[in-house]
Amino acid sequence: MIQILNFISIMIIPILITIILVHGMIKKVNIYEAFVEGAKEGFQTAIRIMPYLIAIFLAIGIFKDSGALNIFIKILSPITKLFGVPSEVLPLAIMRPISGSGSLGILKDLVGTYGPDSFIGRLACTMMGSAETIFYTMAVYFGAVGIKRGRHTLPAALISHIAAIFASVWVCRWVFS
């Protein structure tokens, strides 16, 4: 099963590209012209999202590097422990929605300290694989089309992230111990 998934995940992009190109040729589209015409938009999009990227990267960097994030984690840790979340993985759980590279760093640290096959190691890996960076995605996707009011996106995303944390703890307890 895993080999199959692995294979698909390597093949998916070439397959998608092949389907698009072959279908274009069959339908007698001038594919080269059409590609170049569409690709022009790429630059505009990248430039359009740049200010939003700078704003969000800056805020995350300052919040993290100043040590504010660590204080925040220390305050939260006794509360989450009540709900059965091991305090070792809490920094990861909190960093995950904020920064992709930051949480990857914490994960490497946890796996290095406790070992990849320990309960903490497995739980941390499960958590990392079951969540995404929320703030960055929101800033970029809404920024790209000029949305100012995100409405219920953030609360719903945070609820979903909390569910991911508890589901990870629950499923790891069930499978690994």
For residue 81, the minimal CB distance to another protein (Å) is 19
Give the one residue of 63, 73, 86, 88 binding another protein; rule: CB under 8 A.
Answer: 63
For residue 52, the minimal CB distance to another protein (Å) is 9
Nearest residue (CB) to another protein, 77 versus 130: 130
Give the one residue of 85, 87, 155, 177 binding another protein; rule: CB under 8 A.
Answer: 155
CA distances from 58 to 52, 55, 62, 100, 106 (A): 10, 5, 6, 14, 19
Does 14 engage in binding with another protein (CB under 8 A)? Answer: no
Nearest residue (CB) to another protein, 65 versus 84: 65
Does 79 engage in binding with another protein (CB under 8 A)? Answer: no
Does 177 engage in binding with another protein (CB under 8 A)? Answer: no
CA distances from 122 to 9, 85, 108, 139, 161 (A): 22, 14, 12, 31, 18
Give the one residue of 6, 78, 79, 84 binding another protein; rule: CB under 8 A.
Answer: 6
Candidates 31-39, 73-81, 83-91 — which segment interacts with another protein by CB under 8 A?
Answer: 31-39
Angle at 83 between CA 79 and CA 87, to 5 degrees: 65
For residue 119, the minimal CB distance to another protein (Å) is 12
Nearest residue (CB) to another protein, 41 versus 82: 41
Closest CA to 126 of 88, 95, 167, 159: 167
Does 18 engage in binding with another protein (CB under 8 A)? Answer: no
Run of H or E residues at 176:
helix 153-176
Contact status, residue 78 vs residue 112, Cβ threshold 8 Å: no
Amino acid at 19: I
